[in-house]
Amino acid sequence: MPVPHLTHGEPATRALKRGFDQMMNLLAVTLGPTQGVVLAQHATHAEPEILNDAATIARRLIALPDRAEDVGAMLARNLVWRQHIRAGDGCATTAVIAQAILDHAARYIAAGGNAMMVRRGIDRAARVAGEALGAQAQPPHADALIQIAETITGDPRLSEILAEIFGKLGVDAQVTVEEYLAPYLERQYYEGGRWNGALVSPYLITEPATRRAILTDCHVALYAGDVTSVDDVAPLLEIVAKTDWHQVALIAHDIAGGALTTLVLNHRQGKLKILAAKLGERESKRQSDFDDLAALTGATVISPDRGRTLREIEPTDLGAAPRVEADAEQVIVSGGEGEPEALQTQIAFWRARMATLEENDSEYADARFRVARLQGQIAKLMIGAHTEAERKVIHQNAEKAIRAMPLAMREGVVPGGGVAFLNCIAAVNALPASGDEKFGVQVVARALEEPFRRIAANAGWDAPARLIAEAQRRGADFGCDVLSGEIVSMRAAGILDSAGVAREALQTAVSGAVMALTTGAIVLHQNPETGFEP
Residue 433, by phi and psi: left (phi above 0), alpha (psi -120 to 50) or beta? Answer: beta
pLDDT at 103: 92
Question: 153 and 401 in contact (C-beta within 8 Å)?
Answer: yes
CA dist 315 → 310, 331, 341, 452, 513 (Å): 12, 23, 22, 66, 63
DSSP string covering 98-145:
HHHHHHHHHHHHHTT--HHHHHHHHHHHHHHHHHHHHHH-B---HHHH
Task: Say whether 326 sits in a helix, a strand or coil.
Answer: strand
Given a cut of 80, is residue 520 above it in pLDDT? no
pLDDT bracket for residue 139 (50, 70, 90) = very high
CA–CA separation, 295 and 341 (whole Å): 10
Radius of gyration of the chain from Cα atoms?
A: 28
Given a cut of 80, is residue 6 above it in pLDDT? no
Average pLDDT over residues 419-442: 95
Question: 403 and 87 in contact (C-beta within 8 Å)?
Answer: yes
DSSP string covering 53-111:
-HHHHHHH----SSHHHHHHHHHHHHHHHHHHHHHSS-HHHHHHHHHHHHHHHHHHHHT
Average pLDDT over residues 52-56: 82
Question: 298 and 338 in contact (C-beta within 8 Å)?
Answer: yes
Average pLDDT over residues 423-446: 95
Domains of the chain by range and CATH? 5-138+415-517 (1.10.560.10), 193-338 (3.50.7.10)
| Percentage of residues of the chain with pLDDT beyond 90 | 48
31 alpha carbon, distance to own chain's centre: 19
Average pLDDT over residues 422-428: 96
177 alpha carbon, distance to own chain's centre: 12
Given a cut of 80, is residue 107 above it in pLDDT? yes
Return the exposure string of 118-132: e unless at least 16 CB atoms fall within 10 Å of the residue's CB, then b: bbbbbbbbbbbbbeb
Summarize pLDDT for 37-48 with one digit per residue, the tens. Answer: 777 776 665 677
pTM: predicted TM-score of the whole model, two decimal places? 0.72
418 alpha carbon, distance to own chain's centre: 22
Question: 298 and 337 in contact (C-beta within 8 Å)?
Answer: yes
Beta bridge partners of 383: 179, 185
Return the exposure string of 313-322: e unless at least 16 CB atoms fall within 10 Å of the residue's CB, then b: beeebbbbbe
Helix (H) / strand (E) containing 387: none
Q: Angle CA(429)–CA(431)–CA(437) in degrees, nearest 5?
A: 95
Choose between 280 and 531: higher pLDDT.
280
Q: What are phi and psi of 203, to 5 degrees?
A: -75, -10
Average pLDDT over residues 2-9: 58
Given a cut of 90, is residue 36 above it in pLDDT? no
Given a cut of 50, is residue 530 above it in pLDDT? no
Summarize pLDDT for 460-475 with one digit per residue, the tens. Answer: 887 778 888 888 889 8
Question: 502 and 408 in contact (C-beta within 8 Å)?
Answer: no
Indicate the angle between helix axes 91-110 and 67-87, nearest 10 degrees: 140
Q: Angle CA(380)–CA(385)–CA(391) in degrees, nearest 5?
A: 70
Summarize pLDDT for 122-133 with one digit per residue, the tens. Answer: 999 999 999 999
pLDDT at 524: 62
